[in-house]
Amino acid sequence: MRELTGNDPESPGFSDAGGTLYAQVAAVLRQRIRSGAWRPGAQLPTLESLSAEFGVARVTLRQALGLLEREGLIWRRRGRGTFVTEDASVQWLHVGSSWEELVHSLEGNWARPIDSEDVAQVPGFEERDGLPAPNYRHLRRVHGREARAHALVDLYLDRRLYDMAPKRFDKEMLIPVLEELPSVRIADARQTLSIGTADHAVAAALDIPIGAPVGLMRRVLKDDVGTVIYVGDVAYRGDVVKIEIDLERGRQQVKSTADVRQGGGAKS
């Protein structure tokens, strides 16, 4: 098997504000695996090479590699080296650029509740969003798939709709439940993706360093009279977000899609 090199022009810079040093090193190594730079079955550089590249001690690298090993991305054998697992290849879960694709993309995801409360207003609500509902149910939860969390989510649901199926809304993915309620008509839906960094809450929920890049998705749903019945603020792990833009000639609109990437057995 061929040994890989980092091929970076300079070593990555690490910050005290970015969480533990070994977690930051693991994030760089994880990205190389998920990006395909280090493919399944390939041998990683030696500890000596990685230590020289990153400017960190071997004990830090061992901690970082241990984290990746627990995630199922690498395996280590004394006397042979460290290798990318065969099932560490990247898989993508399409988030969807249409309503039907979005609903389909949520199939198989789980929701782990963190907090729930009634609120009078949605943070960041703008006039262009639509008409506000009288009040909302705020649900904070972690979303994921199989063994891995991929997003910290703050959801704001029109309290009148929440009361139609509170037990389901507390435990299930909200959008598929809304889709199934016969009395709910969603007349307008939009989503916006921006790039930010993880604060303490996001870092803790997704097991990433503070300051790590995250994809910030905001979804707004309105009913047929323009009332905002749902707002979702989603913080995706930065290493699972992909943006694809269709630039076909002759089309009047440029289509944007956002994808959530899954890696091997620990899928998001």
98 plus 51 within the same structural domain: no
74 plus 101 within the same structural domain: no
**80 domain residue, yes or no:** yes
Q: How many helical (H) and strand (E) elements, i.e. helices and strands, does the chain have? A: 8, 12
Confidence of residue 18 (pLDDT cuts 50, 70, 90): low
151 plus 202 within the same structural domain: yes
Q: Are 129 and 97 in contact (CB under 8 A)?
A: no
152 plus 34 within the same structural domain: no
**227 domain residue, yes or no:** yes
197 plus 242 within the same structural domain: yes
Domain that holds residue 47: 16-84
28 plus 151 within the same structural domain: no
pTM of the full predicted structure?
0.71
pLDDT tens-digit map of 164-214: 999 999 999 999 999 999 999 999 999 998 989 999 999 999 988 788 889
Asked if pLDDT for residue 256 goes beyond 80, the answer is: no
pLDDT tens-digit map of 98-154: 788 788 878 889 999 999 999 999 999 999 999 999 999 999 999 998 878 889 999
Number of domains in the chain: 2
Tell me which of 84, 111, 133 is where a domain ends: 84
CATH number of the domain where residue 62 is located: 1.10.10.10
**2 domain residue, yes or no:** no
Q: Are 131 and 226 in contact (CB under 8 A)?
A: yes
Q: Look over the chain and give the mean of its residue pLDDT values, rounded to a whole number.
A: 83
71 plus 130 within the same structural domain: no
**145 domain residue, yes or no:** yes
DSSP secondary structure, 87-112, as one string: T--EEEEE--SSHHHHHHHTTT-EEE
Tell the burial category of 49 from Cβ atoms under 10 Å away from its Cβ (0-12, 13-18, 19+). middle
- Distance CA(174)–CA(179), nearest Å, equals 9
